[in-house]
Structure formats: structure tokens, C-alpha cells
Amino acid sequence: MKKELLMGTALVSTLGAASVAEAVTATMSGNHQTGMEFDSPTGGTDTNAQINDNNFTVSLSETTDGGMTISSSFKVMDENSKYDADAGFTLAFTDGSKLDVLNAGNASGSHAVSIPSSAGAEGVATTSTNVAPTGLDFATGGTSFGVEYHTASDFLADGLSMSFSASTDNGAAATATYKTDQGFAIGATYVSDLGDTAITIGAGISTTEGSKTSTAVANDTGGVHVGLSAVTGDLTVAVGFADGDVAGVGDKGDSEYTADVVAAGVKYVSGDLTFNVGIASGEAQDNTYGNTGGSDDSLDVTSASVSYAVASGVTAILGYTSTEAGDDGSSVDDGSAWYIGANMSF
């Protein structure tokens, strides 16, 4: 009996040691943000609501004997049993380039310049039929069956990096709801110094092909964007423009639209305080499939925030957003919203 116990202990210890030795490196990160939003729509009823944003991410990685790093991750979001485990794999090579495999994303969207705006979680709700976008990457489609290759820095020229992506059909049959069959994209970022100012220029172009039963779309999802960011000390100024088409929108996925966006923002850091101000103006023309010259939608957003670093990883946030929106040519959904809360990250 004593020998059996010793053998069992040795076996468990051996398996445990082997498991530890063969395990990939795992790191954890996330945030917990909670606060109150005060929404005041023009012509509507003021509302108050608690807004939560809780994320927990586990990142996994390991390096082969040849120096290539293999990584992936999964995420648990909010607290309502939302689970994001559709990440693929990233292969990072010794020359600084890397390859994303499965759910790789869109190379054009990867190089969209970040435009400062409110750090708060406030916003004025717009009607579901208003499709006017406010982000530079609104026309970057693709499927989960894709790859994206990222070059190393200083590709072809000092300060230049690029990405190339392609995705293919998932094999599902076409239905009355539009689905993307394949997509291609290219993006680039150029970084340079202009005296005391660091200049970043990002641009991309994306195109997809899709299908549905009955009526064909007039324009598949795709478009272009370009942005510029300048950082001088603690001050960041950024501007951007995007133009494109999106298919498969609306409550029943039976609409498409053509749109453009202009955005600009300023960020300034002073000690523990961070000030953000941003504006974004989007215009869109939405149609049923196969038609052009439809109704005009618009969305103009002005936002600002003050963030204060209370302690390491703890930030208090006060944010404000004002919107002017038009749906099908009529002025609706104007209003403003305040947010006060805090974010704890690890």
C-alpha cells in the first residue's frame, strides 16, 4: 500500500511537472468601468442610467526554438455571460513581421488613425434607421476565414509599416440577408519627426464581395480612409476622412448605404489630468438593395472629457457629448448627455 501511494505521488508529480514545463505563457488584463449617464434628448424625456464596461482578457503565447512567437487570446466581456473566444492565432516572426490567422481583421481598419474624443461612456441614442457613421473604419468588411500580414517597421522606407489582408467565403448558402463572401484590404502607416513633433499618417483601402437571394446590391462593402496625427510633447492633434459603402444593414439586413466621415480631435495631458475634445460629422444615403439616390441621414457629434488619474490604474472620468442628427432628411435625435464614472484597469 505504501509503495502504491509513493508511485501515485510520483506519477502525479511527474505529470504536474510536465504540465508546467509544457504550458504556454498566460497573462491576464482587463478593466472595470462604471458610472452614471444623464441623457437629455431634444423633444424627449431625460433619462439616467448606470453604464458598465467590464472586460477580462487572457492572452496566451509561446516562442518556438526558432524564435517565432505563437499567440492567441480570449475575452469575457461585461457581466452578462458575454464571451468572446473567436480570436485566431498570431505568428510573430524574428524579422518583426507577423501573420494573423482566422478572424484576422481588415488591413485597412488596422491603420485607421485614432481621433481623440470623449473618454466617457455617454451618448445620445439615434433611431435605428439612421445609418450615418462617425468612425474612419466604417467600411472595413471581411469574414472570419481570413489572414492579415503585418510588415516589420521601416518596410521599404524608414517609418513605413503596412498590412495586407484577405478573407474568403464561409461556405454558407446565400439567404435574404446579405453575407460577405470575400474581402481584400491594404493599409499603411508612416511615422516621421518634424522637429519636436511626431507625425503619423495612416491610410487604407478595402473592398469586399457579397451575395443574397433575389435583388443584388448596388455596392458591396468597401472604401478608403486617410488620417493624420501630430504629437508635440503632451499635445495630440488628429484629423481624418473616410468614404465608402456598406451593405447588409438595417433591422432585417436588407439595406445598403453610401457615406463619408470627417473627424478631428485634440488631446492634452497635464500631470494627472487628461483633456479630450473631438468632433465627427457623418453623412449617409441609405437605400434598399439594388437602388441608388435614397434618403439622406446625418450625424454630427461633439464631445469632450476630463480624466484624472486618482491612483495607479484608477481613473475618474467626466464626459459630455452633444449630437445633431437627421434621418431621411428630417431633423431628429438631437440632444446631449453627461457621464461621470471611474475606470479601474489591470
User: How distant, in Å, are the alpha carbons of 11, 106, 143, 174, 185 from that of 86?
Assistant: 36, 15, 12, 23, 21
Query: pTM of the full predicted structure?
Result: 0.83
pLDDT (0 to 100) of residue 248: 80
**Beta-carbon contacts of residue 345 (< 8 Å; ≥ 6 apart):** 29, 30, 31, 32, 313, 315
pLDDT (0 to 100) of residue 328: 75
Asked if residue 344 has pLDDT above 50, the reply is yes
pLDDT (0 to 100) of residue 17: 41
Read off the pLDDT of residues 311-326 as tens digits, 9 standing for 90 and up. 999 999 999 999 998 8
Q: What is the DSSP string of 267-294?
A: EEEETTEEEEEEEEEEEEEEEETT--S-
Domain residue extents for the chain: 29-345
Contact predicate 126/323, CB 8 Å:
yes
pLDDT band at 84 (very low <50, low <70, confident <90, very high): low
> Positive or negative, the Cα torsion across 39, 41, 43, 49?
negative
pLDDT band at 78 (very low <50, low <70, confident <90, very high): low
pLDDT (0 to 100) of residue 131: 86
Read off the pLDDT of residues 199-253 as tens digits, 9 standing for 90 and up. 999 999 999 998 888 777 888 899 999 999 999 999 999 999 999 999 887 655 6
Share of the chain above pLDDT 90, in %: 61
The residue with greater pLDDT, 159 or 249, is: 159
Contact predicate 267/244, CB 8 Å:
no
pLDDT (0 to 100) of residue 286: 83
**Rounded average pLDDT over 95-105:** 91
- Decide: helix, strand or coil at residue 5: helix
- Decide: helix, strand or coil at residue 8: helix
pLDDT (0 to 100) of residue 6: 37
pLDDT (0 to 100) of residue 242: 97
pLDDT (0 to 100) of residue 62: 94
Asked if residue 282 has pLDDT above 60, the reply is yes
Mean pLDDT of the chain: 86
pLDDT band at 72 (very low <50, low <70, confident <90, very high): very high
pLDDT (0 to 100) of residue 169: 87
Nearest CA-CA partner of 106 in 219, 9, 240, 205: 205
> Positive or negative, the Cα torsion across 54, 146, 187, 293?
negative
pLDDT (0 to 100) of residue 171: 78
Asked if residue 85 has pLDDT above 90, the reply is no
pLDDT band at 329 (very low <50, low <70, confident <90, very high): low
The grid coordinates listed for 310 are 486618482
Asked if residue 5 has pLDDT above 70, the reply is no
Read off the pLDDT of residues 44-64 as tens digits, 9 standing for 90 and up. 788 999 998 888 999 999 999
Asked if residue 83 has pLDDT above 60, the reply is no
Q: Which residue has the cell 478573407?
A: 167
Asked if residue 118 has pLDDT above 60, the reply is yes
For the domain bounded by 29-345, which CATH number is listed?
2.40.160.10
Q: What is the DSSP letter of 75?
A: E
pLDDT band at 76 (very low <50, low <70, confident <90, very high): confident
Read off the pLDDT of residues 248-270 as tens digits, 9 standing for 90 and up. 876 556 688 899 999 999 999 99
Instruction: Tell me the three-class secondary structure of 108-127, residue by residue.
Output: HHHCCCCCCCCCCCCCCCCC
The residue with greater pLDDT, 327 or 38, is: 38
Q: Which of 16-20, 168-172, 341-345 has the highest mean pLDDT?
A: 341-345
